[in-house]
Amino acid sequence: MQNISKSRFLLSVSLILLITGMVSANSDVSEALFLQLQAFLSNYFGWMIIILANGFLIFSIYLLFTKYKNIRLGGADAKPSYTYINWIAMLFSAGLGIGLLFYGVAEPVMHMNSYPGMIDGDNSYNAGKAINLANLHWGLHGWAIYSSLGLCFAFASYNKKLPFRVSSLLGEKVSTNKPLAILIDVIAILTTVFGITTSLGLGAMQISAGMSHIFGIEESFTNYVYIIIVITLLGLTSVSLGLNAGIKKLSQINMIIASGLLFLVFALGPTVFILNALVQNFGAYLNSLIQSATWTEAYDSTAWQDGWTLFYFTWWFAWAPFVSLFIARISYGRTIKEFIIGVLFVPSLIVFLWMGVFGNAAIYQVINNTSEISQIVANNMNVALFTLYDVYPLAQPLSIVSLILIVTFFVTSSDSGALVASMLSSKEQTDINDDSPILSRVTWAILLGIVAAVLLYAGGLTALQTSVVITGVPFAIIVGFACLNLLRGLKELDDAPPRHINSD
């Protein structure tokens, strides 16, 4: 148990097993309770969620124009541990990759089917609005949350030499109050683990649905378990190899396959339509960004905002401890300016391109009635991506490649989650070249698979997913305080005595 914080590790594992057991034994009751809590937060604190999400975007952009933008994470002499390409590949794979595969086709089509503001017969407006909403949910605002908290983690750990923990971000009064610090870190671990396990379970269902669509293999719980076992074993292997030999290599594979898939859909699909739509989408996104990002549905009662934009923002909040800490871990040696551009703008651009190609390819089929993708997505969005390919000449190869990419993205999320949970439950400062105790990493990797399988069997995935979203609101407030603490830390650099430079 060397370098493992026993209190954080044992308490987290115990609570995870307890909560999993309780939710599994009372899945229907748990789901109803968590949905009521989510509705309460949306109804009474939706305005605050919107303000916080926009606040983090403003905060990240603001830092780009301050005198602190050239401060290097790790000190003036720190050198980046990874090339730009490897850095972007890892942060994108851990933070978003699987979401785009799952929702890149399904979400725009779902918006066209369900958004209350659609105009009958106006395909131009409806299609543009659908893509615009998808870009809002997956673009700048979500990555601004990761950028803000990730920068707080990186500065605290690399410049102030504090442990990779959420409690380290809230000032000396919190970090030195051991019971409070442990409580905050345990909640962060639970949110990380349950966020990954719910995604792992839902991913197993998508993979199974894809296998059924491509090969005619019947979906079943047994198949879900097999898929989870394979992903867990691959994730266990990757996280055991460490960050450089495991996660970095896998992220490189992810980006190569994803780039090839993006190009093929662009080339095989309605290429000219996609190019025109990309230009129009970009203008529409910029033109409506402020209005869309501050819409609270104040004069309506459709509950659409609760189920979509507010859900997404709180989900980003809930995932922030996991993804932001991982991004901080791989960002040693970057300047604050490099960090914000790389974490906020580059992934958002990738999102815009991905939604523009896959989303518009799907919308083209909807408005031209070349497939039944609209009805299929409404009935089972797990097969949305595979349905898109059915009208293309290379349908089966594209589906198989997509299936492989889904697996590798999920493995990346699994091993990244195990690494982060291990770092959060470590006792001492983790060195830049240390991946935290292997015993801890292995334990978390195995636990992720077990919890996902149990919840799938008991039907508790939806309940737990909603509970994770609920934790996003208090975490957003914590991130707000962490950002204020970061500004104080940066200001302290102004008050520090100048460094003597030897001119000899």
pLDDT digits (tens, 9 = 90+) for 55-89: 999 999 999 999 999 999 998 889 998 999 989 88
Per-residue model confidence (pLDDT) at position 178:
83
What number of other Cβ atoms are within 10 A of residue 115's Cβ? 15
What number of other Cβ atoms are within 10 A of residue 3's Cβ? 16
Residue 392 pLDDT greater than 80, yes or no: yes
> 461: closest CA among 170, 171, 129, 197?
197
Residue 499 pLDDT greater than 70, yes or no: no
pLDDT band at 485 (very low <50, low <70, confident <90, very high): very high
Residue 49 pLDDT greater than 80, yes or no: yes
Per-residue model confidence (pLDDT) at position 433:
53
pLDDT band at 408 (very low <50, low <70, confident <90, very high): confident
Per-residue pLDDT of 359-376, as tens digits, reads 999 999 999 888 889 999
What is the amino acid identity at position 426?
S
Per-residue model confidence (pLDDT) at position 414:
79
Share of the chain above pLDDT 70, in %: 94
Cα separation, 408 vs 262, in Å, equals 16
Tokens for 14, please give them: 């115990």
Residue 443 pLDDT greater than 50, yes or no: yes
Per-residue model confidence (pLDDT) at position 358:
95
Residue 10 pLDDT greater than 70, yes or no: yes
Higher pLDDT, 502 or 292: 292
∠ CA 202-203-206 to the nearest 5 degrees?
Answer: 95
Residue 501 pLDDT greater than 70, yes or no: no
* SS3 label, residue 69: coil
Per-residue model confidence (pLDDT) at position 22:
86
Residues sharing a CB contact under 8 Å with residue 38, sequence separation 6 or more, in sequence order: 306, 311, 314, 466, 469, 470
Per-residue model confidence (pLDDT) at position 340:
96
Higher pLDDT, 169 or 434: 169
Tokens for 115, please give them: 């958004």
Tokens for 489, please give them: 């830390």
Stretch 85-99: mean pLDDT: 80
Per-residue model confidence (pLDDT) at position 274:
96
Cα torsion 109, 110, 116, 119 to 10°: value is: 10
pLDDT band at 430 (very low <50, low <70, confident <90, very high): very low
Long-range CB pairs of 166-173 (<8 Å, 24+ gap) are: 166/321, 166/424, 166/478, 166/482, 169/478, 169/481, 169/482, 169/485, 169/486, 170/478, 170/481, 170/482, 170/485, 171/485
Rg (alpha carbons) of the chain, rounded to whole number: 22
Residues sharing a CB contact under 8 Å with residue 267, sequence separation 6 or more, in sequence order: none
Higher pLDDT, 173 or 164: 164
Residue 493 pLDDT greater than 70, yes or no: yes
Higher pLDDT, 358 or 241: 358
CA distances from 164 to 78, 161, 412, 481 (A): 18, 9, 20, 17
Tokens for 72, please give them: 């290097």
Taking a C-beta distance cutoff of 8 angstroms, is the pair 124, 367 a contact?
no
Per-residue pLDDT of 165-180, as tens digits, reads 888 888 777 777 788 8
Per-residue model confidence (pLDDT) at position 498:
47
Residues sharing a CB contact under 8 Å with residue 345, sequence separation 6 or more, in sequence order: 140, 143
What number of other Cβ atoms are within 10 A of residue 120's Cβ? 5
What number of other Cβ atoms are within 10 A of residue 156's Cβ? 24
Residue 250 pLDDT greater than 80, yes or no: yes
Highest averaged pLDDT of the listed ranges 359-363, 412-416, 453-457, 464-468? 359-363
Cα separation, 198 vs 278, in Å, equals 33
**Which domains does the chain possess?**
6-297+308-491 (1.20.1740)
Task: Look over the chain and give the mean of its residue pLDDT values, rounded to a whole number.
Answer: 86
Share of the chain above pLDDT 90, in %: 35
Per-residue model confidence (pLDDT) at position 146:
93
pLDDT band at 277 (very low <50, low <70, confident <90, very high): very high
Per-residue model confidence (pLDDT) at position 89:
87
- This prediction has a pTM of 0.90
Per-residue model confidence (pLDDT) at position 388:
93
By CB neighbour count within 10 A (0-12 exposed, 13-18 middle, 19+ buried), where does 241 fall? middle
Farthest-apart Cα atoms in the chain, separation: 77
Per-residue model confidence (pLDDT) at position 61:
96
Residue 223 pLDDT greater than 60, yes or no: yes
What DSSP string describes 132-181? HHHHHHHSHHHHHHHHHHHHHHHIIIIIS---SSGGGGG-HHHHT-HHHH
Per-residue model confidence (pLDDT) at position 428:
62
